[in-house]
Amino acid sequence: MFQSVATPDQTDVLSISRSHTTTTTNRIMKHRYVPGDQIEIVAGIYKKHARGTYLGPSGLLSASVKVIGDTREKRNLRLSSIRPVMKDWAADDDDDGDDVVLTKQEYVSLLEEISCLSDSLKKLQLKVERLG
> What average pLDDT is seen over the chain?
75
pLDDT of residue 91: 56
Q: Which of 61-70, 75-84, 122-131 has the highest mean pLDDT?
A: 122-131
pLDDT of residue 14: 40
**Tens of pLDDT along 33-56?**
788 888 888 888 877 768 888 888
Give helix then strand counts, H and E, for the chain.
2, 5
- Find out whether 79 and 62 touch, Cβ atoms under 8 Å: yes
Query: How far apart, in whole angstroms, are the C-alpha atoms of residue 97 and residue 63?
Result: 41
pLDDT of residue 43: 85
- Alpha-carbon distances of 121 from 117, 126, 127, rounded to whole Å: 6, 9, 10
Query: Which pTM value belongs to this model?
Result: 0.45
